Every structure is written in C-alpha cells, then in structure tokens.
Structure 1
C-alpha cells in the first residue's frame, strides 16, 4: 500500500513539473509571437531635412517656428540663439564717458521632429518666413531591407525558442542559449521600433541669421589720462610747483651754510697760494 502511495506522489510531482514547463514555454512563445509579426507593410524611408536662411529678426522667427512645429504635431528637440561680435570700437563721448559701438550678428538654430507626411508643408511655411534662403536639402534613407532583415531574424528566433521549448530540460546550456536568443530578439525589435519612429517623424535642422546689427552704448571712460586737468590749469600748477621747489632749494642751501663757508675759504686760500708761487717764480 505504501509503495502505491509513493508512486502516486512521484507521478503527481512529475506531472506538475511538466505542466509548469509547458505553461512557461507557452508564455514565452506567445510573447515572441506578438513581435514576430513585424513585416514591411510600407516603405521604411527616413527623411532628414536641412535649411539655412536669412531673416529680419532671429528671436521673432524662433518663436514662429516653435508655434508652427506644434501646429504640425511635431516637437522641438533643440534650439540655440547666440550673438557673434564682429567688431567693437570706442570713441570719446565726454570727459568721463565713451561711446561704445558694437557690430554683431545674431544667429539661431532649431532642431525639430515633424510628422513625415507634413514635412513639405512645414518647409513651405519656413520659406515664407525667410528673407533669403541660402541652402535647402532633403535626404532620404531607405531602411526597408534592414527592417525586413530584423523581422525575418526575429521569426527565426521564435522558431528556435519553440524548438528549445519542445526539448526543455534543466541543462544550463539550453537555458543560456534561450536567453541569448531572447536578448537578440529584443535588440532587433527595438531597432525596428526606432526605424518606425524615425519614419513617422522626420528630423529637420533649421539655421537662420539676421543682418549685422550696430549697438550704441555709453560707457565709463577707463583712460586715466583723460581725467588730468586742462593745459592752463596744469601750466599754473607747474609755476606753483616750481616756486615750491625753489624755496626748498634755498632751505637746503641754508642748512649747508657751513660747507659753503668752508668751500669759500678753501677757494681763497688756494688762489692766494697760487698767486704767491707765480711771484716767486718771476
């Protein structure tokens, strides 16, 4: 009786394991089958556009572009507005100020994603905003074959996983192989989704600029020479400084009266001695 009970328990355990493996295999196969239906129902063409044009006001055009992109169902990915200084000069405006003249060019860049079916309409709107179009280009990249290749490879992976599930066991090599197949499947699936996204939304890069602008600005004069007094004031100050120096010189001579006295006495002694020698020689 105990033997029969033991065999019954073993049978139930084996049946439960098999059922679990079958359910797991079925779930895996179903998950893979959901993505194996990738087919090239239409051409997978990625559009990339580029434009460079001149405008009257960069900031105003940037705002118009943002609104137009939103109206077309697109989105702005990146934008930049910058001013490049071409030349700067400073001229005298008054004693303590200068007139600074700056010539600069304002430029802008907008990178956006626009629905591919509305790309032509959007570029036509952009042309109307421009004063002059320098350059306009459109690039078509056909990804149909890559898309089809990924889809067929995923079908092969689904079939491979199904074969592994039929011979499912607990050997590590089968588990690792199944995981590698599933990871490759996910990679190809993401690649196709990326292609779908690029096909649905085209990337357009817009570079625009305006004419050079001259800005006038009064700034402080940093040249210290200009802050000196006028010529007449400096002339009168020079006379005053000369008189002060002369008085200081007199004071210096007064302090040196002893040396002056000794020098004078020495001079007269020398002359007397020299005259006496001449008389003796004669």
Structure 2
C-alpha cells in the first residue's frame, strides 16, 4: 500500500492501465457466475460456522489461557482470509475481473491477503512455540505468556502484518485463471519489464514449513514422554488443548508447502 499512497510514480508505472480501454480490459477476463456464487456460498457458510467459535474462545475459562488468546487472534486473521479467499474472490470471479477492471478493490484485497497470510503463519509459529514451552516448562510458560504478556507476543504478527501490507507487492486476481498472481497483467497481451516478485512471501512460506515441523516434532516427543506420568483427567485436558495447538499450525504448514511446490 505504500506504493499506492506514497510512491505514486512507482505505482503508475507498474500498474499502468492506459494500454487499453475499460471495455477491452473487461474482455480479457472471463465471467463465471456459477463458480463465483459457489465461492460466495462457501464463504458465507464458513463464516457462519467459524465466528461462533471465536465467541466461544472468549469465555473466561478459555480467555485466561494463553493458547486460546493466540488461537483467537489467529481466528481473526482467518476470518479476514476467508473474506478475501471466498467472498471477494467470488465477486471478482462472477464479474470476470482482471486488475484494470477493478484496480482499487483488487490491489487492496491483494495487500491485505498477503499480509494476513504471513501474519497467520507467524501466529501459528507462535502458537506452536507456546505449546512447546507450556509442555516442556510450565513454570517458564507462565513467566513468558502469563496474563497480558500473551498480547505483547501478539504484537509480532501485528507488526509483521502492517509491514507486509505496506511494503510488499500484493497479489492480483485474474478471473481467466481464477487465481491470484503477483503479475497484474498475466494473460494479457502486454508486457512490462518489471519485477513483481515478493521475496518476503517466498521466504515466509519456506521458513514456516521447517519451523512448524521442528516445533511439532518437539511437542509430540514431549507429549509421549510425559503422557505416562499424568492422571487420566489431566491427560485428557492436556491432550485436547495440545491437539488443537498441534493441528492448527500443522494445517497451516501444509498450505505453504503446496504453494512453494507448485511455484
């Protein structure tokens, strides 16, 4: 977003839509109302299911636990990602959008989409780290994450979100391919010799794979090592909490692996 607001020459050269008229730009897209409606419907249903869980995590018995604070924060990011990945994508697919047919919406949605994804990855790393510390050294966990300290930790993904949204290249939607790319003119008979790559995004996706795998391996090792020394009731509670703490980052780990493999 920094380019849009403060580097207008940079934005005007790399996202220049003067080569064609609006009607011609629209012709490069492909309207897919049925697919767009499916995206929107999936997004609405997912939000209806998802949002009540966020309210549930804010009950006092959960709110006092650091891992639920982190999961709540991650849930907020996921709600934003669902809006971009289904509702906005559905609208753009329905109308056959390319960048120059909806430049403002696509640009800002792309900025927030990349930033939300990167922040969610860092939040997953933080969640897995929280679970590792809690299981290995519960006394240290309270020192590091007790009370308001968890919210201080969550400043890290917040700053990351702001930095990526302002200073990195956004993804741009193209209805012809029903996908988001960094090149705003992909599939269009026009060529600008500019670099649209996002190095931060690539490093983020590779790093989160290795970090989350290491954290989950450490956590699983400690769970198996300590499980024989806990009472059945405590064991069940910790198993549920740590299952959530493992699975949520694990699911996020699969996506960057697929993205980097396909790239």
Same fold (TM over 0.5): no
When Rg is computed on C-alpha atoms for both structures, the one with the higher figure is 1
Higher strand share: 1
Higher helix share: 2
Name the TM-score class by shorter chain: 0.3 to 0.5
Q: Which has the higher contact order (CA 8 A, sep 6+)?
A: 1
Query: TM-score, structure 2 length as denominator?
Result: 0.33
Query: TM-score, structure 1 length as denominator?
Result: 0.31
